[in-house]
Structure 1
Amino acid sequence: MPRFSLAALPALLLTLAACQSNPATERRTASAPATHRVRDDLGRALTVPLRPCRILPLAPSMTEMLWAVADPATIIGRTQN
């Protein structure tokens, strides 16, 4: 019986920790900007939307990955290969 209790205690603690809410994270995401600033290889500053409306993959492997992780409606073209 004590062996079962010792095994159940960490599982119970992990379950309770996973169920708690984190209001600080919720407030931070509410005020997050809708764009992301990045620098390209030439050093230019670019502003990219966090949720792009149109995506054009430049390689067949990129097309396959986008079909798996993105909304297919955002993919506007594909390569011939």
Structure 2
Amino acid sequence: MAELLIQIAAVLIFFAILFAVIRLILGRTLVDRIVAIDALTVISLSLIALYAHVSGRFAYLDVALVYGLLSFLAVLAIARFLEKGL
């Protein structure tokens, strides 16, 4: 049963990647594209966490945590740049 749930989660993650890439390509404004990239980072964090669970190597969760923090800071920096410029 647990393996079935992991497979369902993986399929849902890959559908989310597909939809985020479509949003990235079809985004009309720069803000739409930035949100799509941020969504892709969140999706990749869930993929890293799923892989950590499947492989049993929970050190990957530390990698996901640092990646999430850097992604958050990057989005903040881009938002500040778009609002005020350099």
Per the shorter chain, which TM-score range?
A: under 0.3
Richer in helix (by share): 2
Q: What TM-score, normalized to structure 2? A: 0.25
Q: What TM-score, normalized to structure 1? A: 0.26
Richer in strand (by share): 1
**Larger RCO of the pair (alpha carbons < 8 Å, separation 6+):** 2
